[in-house]
Amino acid sequence: MTWNENGGRLGEEFFTPGSSSFTEFLAAHRPELLSTRRVLPDGVRAAPDQVPHGTTVLALSYRDGVLIAGDRRATMGNLIAQRDLEKVHPADDHTAVAFAGTVGLALDMVKLYQVELTHFEKIEGVPMTLDGKARRLAGMIRQNLGQAMQGLAVVPLLTGYDFSAPEGERGRIFSYDIAGGLYEKTGFHAEGSGSPYARGALKKLFRKGLDRREAALAALQALYDAADDDSATGGPDLNRRIFPIVSVITEEGFERLSEPETEDLSREMVEQRRNRPDGPNATA
């Protein structure tokens, strides 16, 4: 919040009843602070080699909840813009969001979404439902449609633990298109330039009832396959010790796997690839 320039008091807008949406509050009173509403001049389109883009993220449900992971590479055209980008973020205690697309806008959208969920809970006194969180993120993506049509798209992947869902189905996955279309996915999903290869890997590796270690290895195998066929996706960098981000959401909440755990699993997976370069076969 900011102080009113006249006398150091907060403006009337802070004391006027209204929506529980922080985004709608900004849109009404300080729209210039919403980066998703800024559109390039007519006829201008962002050049893909001038703006960093994040690539592959994925999610899969497992026995205790849902896992979400992403590689670390950002590209500008055929150049590597960043090797250690973090594409997976907690949205609240039981929800996480990962992104592919324009990095700057995506990071702003993630921060705004985190505030949006916190603001709702403070105003309403209860957390938003997972379905409500999914719809709220869809609305934020829709606000970015003008920039998406000019080459600055953001494509998030949302996961959450839903206490109201039946046992064994509480880890849920939602995907979006650039216009804010919302789609719930069953079992697994991936987004970004390497997503066709990651989904192909998950299609053969996913099964119901995976434990946490099995799910993490399946995610790492899928990201490895994506990096093997998509130059914009980065695989485990053993020399620099840069590894994918892997996080889980369970009844206990959001947890990012520690660096040592992710490194051990990544090295185990890379070693397996020495004998089987194309990865493991589907299990019966």
Average pLDDT estimate for 169-176: 97
Which DSSP symbol is given to 17? -
Please report where in the chains the tokens 């369970």 appear, as a residue: 250
pLDDT on residue 37:
56
- Higher pLDDT: 245 or 167? It is 245
Q: Which of 44-53, 91-100, 114-123, 220-229 has the lowest mean pLDDT?
A: 44-53
pLDDT on residue 256:
98
Residues 89 and 189: their CA atoms lie apart, in Å, by 17
pLDDT on residue 3:
47
pLDDT tens for each residue of 265-277? 999 999 999 989 8
Residue closest to 148 by CA, chosen among 179, 194, 106, 108? 179
Is the pLDDT reported for residue 166 higher than 70? Answer: yes
pLDDT on residue 168:
87
pLDDT on residue 49:
72
pLDDT tens for each residue of 30-66? 665 566 555 556 666 666 677 888 899 999 999 999 9
Torsion over CA of 199, 205, 210 and 212, rounded to 10 degrees?
-70
Residue among 16, 23, 36, 55 flagged as catalytic: 55
Residues 101 and 70 sit within 8 Å (Cβ to Cβ): no
pLDDT on residue 284:
59
Residues 154 and 102 sit within 8 Å (Cβ to Cβ): yes
The residues, ordered by sequence, that sit 6+ positions from 17 with a Cβ below 8 Å of its Cβ are: none
pLDDT on residue 19:
62
Is the pLDDT reported for residue 182 higher than 60? Answer: yes
Average pLDDT estimate for 15-29: 59
pLDDT tens for each residue of 222-258? 999 999 999 999 999 999 999 999 999 999 999 999 9
Asked about 55 being catalytic, the answer comes back as yes
pLDDT on residue 4:
47
pLDDT tens for each residue of 194-226? 999 999 999 999 999 999 999 999 999 999 999
The percentage of the chain sitting over the pLDDT mark of 90, rounded to a whole number, equals 68
Is the pLDDT reported for residue 2 higher than 50? Answer: no
Q: Where are the alpha helices (DSSP H) in the chain?
A: 22-29, 103-124, 130-143, 145-148, 195-205, 212-229, 259-275
pLDDT on residue 32:
54
pLDDT on residue 101:
93
The mean pLDDT value of the chain amounts to: 88
